[in-house]
Amino acid sequence: MLFRLAYLLVLALFFQAPSITPEQRKDAGAAFQKGEWVKAGAIYAKIADTEPSNAAAWHRLGYCRYQEKAYEPALDAFAHASDVGKRADSMYSAGCMCALLARPDRAFEWIDKAIAAGFGDEATFVSDEDLASVRSDPRYAAAKVKVQANARPCSVDPKARQFDFWIGEWDVSDTASKTPAGKSSIQLILGDCVIFENWSGLKGGNGKSFNVYNKDKGCWQQTWIDDKGGVVEFVDGVFKDGALQFVTRPEKVAEGQRMRRLTFYDQGPAQVRQFSEISMDAGKAWTPEYDLTYVRRKEVAAK
């Protein structure tokens, strides 16, 4: 019995598929980069056969077959890459192959899987000619919205949109005296995740702030920097009843434990109030620091 087991083990080792050498991997990558699809595909087919769990090899094999217009084998390779690697790009590519093979239902099944796995390449999705046959399908428009949401998750997060009322071009004045104080340009940047303030004071004093909803902490935060090197960190921002309010952490100064409280009031489509308060006893008592009114510039609002 022991002899028989040893014999079978020797046979298994003898007939085992040979391992892929570093030179073969290098040749496959070089051929792929050069667009030598038949050569690259032949090597990646060997790698995939030898290493069935190598999702990258299966994906590249699929791409080589696609370039050869062998869409059915390409679909098989992309599907295998998806199974073993859970790759969103492989799922999307499988969807493209189904579209090219005139299988719209299967195409959208794969596209939906890709989106659920995080596919968010909006530029590719809207320009990909491989999807030309399904672009008029209502499911394409629905999928496009989901791809855009993956590409810019902040744009569809209701909490990240709470401060949008401040976005725009503004003339700013003192609320009580109506005296002009400055101008401000508030922009939406970084995939709609950051509300970017650009402040220009009429009597000098310029600054910028980054305002973002921190989803990990569940609150808004603002970092203000001025042209004198001053930095103020506002934290724990909460939106309630049409107003967004920030505070700073207590800071030890000669006068005591200083804190600031900054509140932005949404006063309709053309006006925002910014009210700052200061405390010297760690937030027990507050006194006004400044009170500004933002009025949207009419020539900008008219566009």
Identify whether residues 13 and 67 lie together within a single domain. yes
Residue after which a domain boundary falls, among 123, 153, 183: 153
Identify whether residues 90 and 205 lie together within a single domain. no
Query: What pLDDT, in 10s, does the model give residues 24-62?
Result: 999 999 999 999 999 999 999 999 999 999 999 999 999
Identify whether residues 93 and 135 lie together within a single domain. yes
Q: How far is CA 135 from the centre of its chain?
A: 24
Residue 167 structural domain: 159-301
The CB density around residue 37, as the number of other CB atoms within 10 Å, is 19
pTM (whole model) above 0.85: no
What is the pLDDT, as a whole number, of residue 164? 98
Residue after which a domain boundary falls, among 135, 153, 171: 153
What is the pLDDT, as a whole number, of residue 13? 39
Identify whether residues 166 and 269 lie together within a single domain. yes
Identify whether residues 219 and 120 lie together within a single domain. no
Phi, psi of 154, deg, nearest 5: -65, -30
What is the pLDDT, as a whole number, of residue 7? 45
Identify whether residues 121 and 208 lie together within a single domain. no
Tell me the CATH number at 168. Answer: 2.40.128.20
Identify whether residues 255 and 164 lie together within a single domain. yes
Buried b (16+ CB within 10 A) or exposed e, 46-63: bbbeebeebbbbbbbbbb
- Cα dist. 227→12, 204, 210 in Å? 74, 9, 15
What is the pLDDT, as a whole number, of residue 212? 98
Identify whether residues 8 and 147 lie together within a single domain. yes
- Contact indicator for 261, 244 with CB cutoff of 8 Å: no
Identify whether residues 142 and 167 lie together within a single domain. no
Residue after which a domain boundary falls, among 153, 171, 192: 153
Tell me the CATH number at 99. Answer: 1.25.40.10
Phi, psi of 173, deg, nearest 5: -140, 165
| pLDDT over 70 (residue 294) | yes
Give the span between the Cα atoms of 148 and 296, in whole angstroms. Answer: 29
What is the pLDDT, as a whole number, of residue 23? 94
What is the pLDDT, as a whole number, of residue 300? 52
Give the span between the Cα atoms of 206 and 192, in whole angstroms. Answer: 24
What is the pLDDT, as a whole number, of residue 282? 94
Least confident residue range of 7-11, 210-214, 257-261: 7-11
Identify whether residues 16 and 92 lie together within a single domain. yes
Query: What pLDDT, in 10s, does the model give residues 173-221?
Result: 999 999 999 999 999 999 999 999 999 999 888 999 999 999 999 999 9
Phi, psi of 207, deg, nearest 5: -165, 175
Identify whether residues 140 and 236 lie together within a single domain. no
What is the pLDDT, as a whole number, of residue 299? 66
Identify whether residues 8 and 148 lie together within a single domain. yes
Number of domains in the chain: 2
